Amino acid sequence: MRNPRAWRTGLHRALLACSRPEPWKRGPVLTALALLLGLLPLLHAAIPDFAGLGSLVESVLPWLGVFIPVLLAAALWRRSLAAGAALLLPAVVWTTLFGGLLHDKSHPGGDLTVAAHNVGAANPDPAGTARALASSGADLLALEELTPRAAPLYEKALAKTYPHHAVRGTVGLWSKLPLSGTRTIDVMNYGPLAATKSAAAELPENRALRTTVTTPHGSLAVYVAHLGSVRPMPRHGFWTASRDIGAAALTKAVTTERTPRVLLLADLNGTLDDRAFTDLRAHLHSTQTTSGNGFGFTWPATFPMARIDQILYRGLNADRSWTLPETGSDHLPVAAALSWL
């Protein structure tokens, strides 16, 4: 060390500064905000869902990490040691909850490639979207938000690649493997939530299906769903009634499913951190969580901020999960490679 005396002097001054009460008393508001930022991801379930507030907070939980460097810069500017120390809490909490999503968890393998896409009712080029999705190499392709005008265009464009398909209302599944036993799943009028049925009555009824895919390894139960939207309501916050009805209906269908291998391809109109999907998460795994690389945000397509399009599974292994390039929709397509247990 070239100048030990100068180094000791600098260290002494730093320790002396930290021992003084002033830096620890500065920035009480910053300190409180830092502690709140750390507690919010841990206690989000305790936030009342009044006017959809709890659901909204849970949908943006990963983005709370953006405020950590902002508060750190403010703490440095105020020279607040208390705020700087308090920021350790949100940093540790965020890393614990979301840090595992940042590294690549994919690995070689995959007996079945699947894709799902909310193609968008206002999509200006359904045929082009269909060709792009077919080129992905997916063995199963689920489409949501099909309109009566666009559905025949998708059927025509996908017919060569996918000899089997089933459409029920606004959702459909195209497959290279045989399909059987296709039926509609009512995700708009689930009994336990009868009090909110009137709120969902104006929405299309056929928004989910269940079918059996026959594979060389056995039967695979596939669900395709598009849950109701979360809508801002003047003076009433966010309306989540139809989405929550669908989440409960899907959970009921999955929990009573007798086929060991289950696949759900869906636009859930909510992230898996949302309390509406707590029970669904208990029965199905997310391909993005187990085999993805990053958060895999899908909406809105121009600047994705939330992953509301999901590939969930049970009785399979997930090898890779990724998003596909943007189409004419306001969602990004999602894809995954899965293998048999």
How many helices (DSSP H) and strands (DSSP E) are in the chain? Answer: 13, 14
- The DSSP code sequence of 207-251 is -EEEEEEEETTEEEEEEEEEPPPPEEETTTEEE-HHHHHHHHHHH
Average pLDDT, 10 consecutive residues per value, the chain (341 residues) = 59 52 74 95 86 84 96 92 94 96 92 97 95 96 96 96 97 98 88 47 72 96 93 63 91 96 97 95 97 97 97 98 97 98 87
CB distance 333 to 136 below 8 Å: yes
CATH: 3.60.40.10, 3.60.10.10, 3.40.50.1220, 3.40.50.300. Which one for 112-340? 3.60.10.10
In terms of Cβ atoms closer than 10 Å to its own Cβ (0-12, 13-18, 19+), residue 190 is buried
Confidence (pTM): 0.88
Q: Which two tokens stand for residue 82?
A: 């208390």
Domain map (residue ranges) of the chain: 4-101, 112-340
> pLDDT at position 242, please?
85
Q: What is the predicted pLDDT for the residue at 233?
A: 59
- How much is the pLDDT for 189? 74
Q: What's the pLDDT at 10? A: 57
> What distances in angstroms separate CA 164 from CA 132, 176, 211, 227, one per listed residue?
18, 6, 12, 24
Q: Report the SS3 class of residue 339.
A: strand
- The pLDDT value given to residue 197: 46
What pLDDT is attached to residue 140? 98
